[in-house]
Structure 1
């Protein structure tokens, strides 16, 4: 059976309030149907949570490039320090 988007949304709201089993019984639909709708809704919400706008992606990219540059500098400093101390030990 096909259910409208509005019906599904209201059914999910009801299931959030009173639980899946009670909501399914009150609405006269199968428990697993309502459970499947909930699983799909949660997966879609999770996927949407991780989506970024182009501007957010650009900003994040700039942050990562800056961090990468800082880490490269720190790595170079550590390499120089290691070389300095290695020479000092050979004497």
Structure 2
């Protein structure tokens, strides 16, 4: 099984719209069914169609949301540390 990079797939799709899928697949030496699949994926997922092996398709909004949730967890953890430190120093002041 051959593996094609994202740029090759995008150029193949572009060529298939210019000269037709059958002609493009013959010129590129790939099966026409593969080219039809790429075209379908491109229509369905747009710029996220060919993200690569092991990389999930995450739209920008979801990625931003995940980043913000991570930041919240980090800030909550920092707040807990500061609360514990405040309690420790307040206890040492009482003595």
TM-score by length of 2: 0.47
TM-score scaled to structure 1, two decimals? Answer: 0.49
Query: Counting helix residues as a fraction of each chain, which structure ranks higher?
Result: 1
